[in-house]
Amino acid sequence: MASSAQPIEVFTAGQRPDLWERSRTVFNGVWPEYNMHGNDTPKYFSALYPKYAHLQVLLYDQNTDSIAGRGRTIPFRWDGTLEDLPAGIDALGLRAIDDPQPPTALSALAAEVAEGQQRRGLSALIIESMSAVARRAGLHPLVAPVRPNWKDRYPVTPIDRYAYWVRSDGLPLDPWLRVHVRLGGTILRTETSSLRIEAPVTDWEQWTEMTFPEDGEYVFPRGLAPLRVRDGVGLYFEPNIWVVHRL
Ligand SMILES: CC(C)(COP(=O)(O)OP(=O)(O)OC[C@H]1O[C@@H](n2cnc3c(N)ncnc32)[C@H](O)[C@@H]1OP(=O)(O)O)[C@@H](O)C(=O)NCCC(=O)NCCS
């Protein structure tokens, strides 16, 4: 690619391996600590580079010589039906790395904007760049298991209610989902058990800076859904909203 909107340039990791290496530590602070401990996420996130370097996008800020944003994607086989859509992001990632057949579609895995660059509208550029690499690679459509970024304000609301809340202008209440919809994305369905984070309660206490004194359900800071604690183990499933972008 290498385009365009000055002073932000878009590259793939294949075009700029040096930027990809630099990007590895840029975005840690944008995620809640608990979110970095998915049980299955290391398996598929570690498969992206170098194999799919041409499908990873980087937003480079020339003015500050810094990485402003990153979009990570994974190609997978999908027949385009709801029945064949993976349950959630974990199921998608595991299918993508295990499937011996060639991929047909592209899925977003994560969009990240650096802390100092947020609220400038760069997130739309990440989605547009993902669409561009999908088109170039002949992978159709682009789907996204969207992590709705205001869901932590409504942790006990079911995702299949939250996903369809709209503002008076008809666009989604959730800001990140709104970006997708404004770019032409449509909701396919929601998933309550998309990403599994199951770990000893002591780990959860460290990640959340909370204490969980007894078995039960707990709302915790920045959690999109409650944490279930039982017999010393904390189990959390992150919900997602599947969105499709027809290319
Ligand atoms: C989600 C994320 C990619 C958005 O990137 P961004 O560049 O800050 O967002 P933008 O400036 O493009 O704004 C997108 C929309 O969100 C809104 N928004 C962004 N941050 C907001 C905030 N803190 N409060 C309220 N609204 C906010 C914007 O107003 C805009 O909506 P609008 O155009 O309808 O008004 C970024 O916050 C991020 O990296 N978050 C951490 C990782 C993550 O959760 N990624 C998404 C799941 S993969």
Dump pLDDT digits (tens) for 173-198. 999 999 999 999 999 999 999 999 99
DSSP-based helix, strand, coil % in the chain, nearest 5: 30, 30, 40
Provide the greatest CA pair distance for the chain: 54
Residue 173 near ligand 1, beta carbon < 6 Å: no
Q: What ligand 1 atom has the least distance to the C-alpha of 113?
A: 39
**pLDDT recorded at residue 1:** 54
CATH number of 8-198+239-245: 3.40.630.30
Three-state secondary structure call for residue 68: strand
**pLDDT recorded at residue 139:** 98
Of 119, 183, 241, 243, the one to substitute when testing ligand 1's pocket (max ligand atoms within 8 A of C-beta) is 119
For the chain, domain boundaries = 8-198+239-245
Name the region of 80 (left: φ>0; alpha: ψ -120 to 50; beta: rest).
Answer: left
Residue 3 has pLDDT above 60, yes or no: no
Residue 120 near ligand 1, beta carbon < 6 Å: yes
Residue minimizing CA distance to atom 15 of ligand 1: 175
Q: What is the mean pLDDT of residues 186-215?
A: 98
List, in order, residues 6 or more apart from 193 with CB less than 8 Å away. 87, 88, 237, 239
76-102 exposure pattern, b = at least 16 Cβ within 10 A, e = fewer: bebeeeeeebbbbbbbbbbbbbeeeee
Strand partners, 108: 73
Name the region of 17 (left: φ>0; alpha: ψ -120 to 50; beta: rest).
Answer: alpha
